Homo-oligomer: A and B are copies of this chain.
């Protein structure tokens, strides 16, 4: 067996050109927006500023051809944000990738000899 104190870890993400458009953190943000219906609440939960969350959402909407989040201000509750059908698909795809990566990491940790 390999030395137990060493752990293999990794990340995957999706780029357009050279810009990162979707990764681990952004997916969590989308999920929390979906769950709460609010960019603000999602940001609070993840302990990031509203501005940062909004910038990320904006960047994702730009990066993907079709928006992943649609938001509106005013109205009941002051405003809201929803994850689009395309956004849900994106989340799903990323989860699949993430899961596959975990398998990859697990398999190769076992081969790791240091």
Contact = CB atoms under 8 A, between A and B. Distances in A.
Interface of A: 5-17, 20-21, 64, 89-90, 93, 97, 100-101, 104-105, 108, 112-114
A14 B64 CA distance: 32
Nearest to A13: B9
A10 B11 contact: yes
B16 A5 contact: yes
25 contacts: A5-B17, A6-B14, A6-B15, A6-B21, A7-B15, A7-B16, A8-B13, A8-B97, A9-B12, A9-B13, A9-B14, A9-B15, A10-B11, A10-B101, A12-B108, A14-B112, A64-B114, A89-B114, A90-B114, A93-B114, A97-B108, A100-B104, A100-B108, A101-B104, A104-B104
A68 B112 CA distance: 17
B104 A14 contact: no
Q: Which 5 A-B pairs have the closest CB atoms?
A: A10-B12, A7-B15, A5-B16, A104-B104, A9-B15
Contacts of A113: 93
A89 to B, nearest CB: 7
